[in-house]
Amino acid sequence: VEHLSHLGFSVWLDIQQMTGDINEQMAGNIAVSIGTLVIGTPRYTQRAGMDTNVKREFEAIIAKAAKDERFGVFPLMFLDASGEHGIFPSELNDHANLCDFR
């Protein structure tokens, strides 16, 4: 967030800026954004497959990308502290913008 902000990007990170209803905040921010970084940690990918706010966020990203070709989706794969990595739901596994930092 710090580096992207320094480069002039308007950045919203839920764990730093969450107020009110998490689902409304995420949906609203996705609706007005021009792109999103989806960080594929094991926890994120596990929660994206469960009935959680992460799944609703993921579905909103996929829906917006399908409707708006200008909306940039950048899936980023990272190892977590234990050396594990997540696997994105199928919509992002072969995405053209997939960045694999494992």
pLDDT in tens, 32-82: 999 988 887 777 778 888 888 888 888 899 899 999 999 999 888 876 677
Look up the pTM and report it.
0.76
List 35's β-bridge partners, or say none.
72
In angstroms, what CA-CA distances link 9 with 4, 20, 33, 37? Answer: 5, 23, 11, 12
- Taking the alpha carbons at both ends of the chain, their separation in whole angstroms is 20
Dihedral sign, CA of 27, 87, 14, 72?
A: negative
Which of the 8 DSSP states describes residue 81?
A: T
SS3 state of residue 12: coil
Share of the chain above pLDDT 90, in %: 21
Average pLDDT over the chain, rounded to an integer:
82
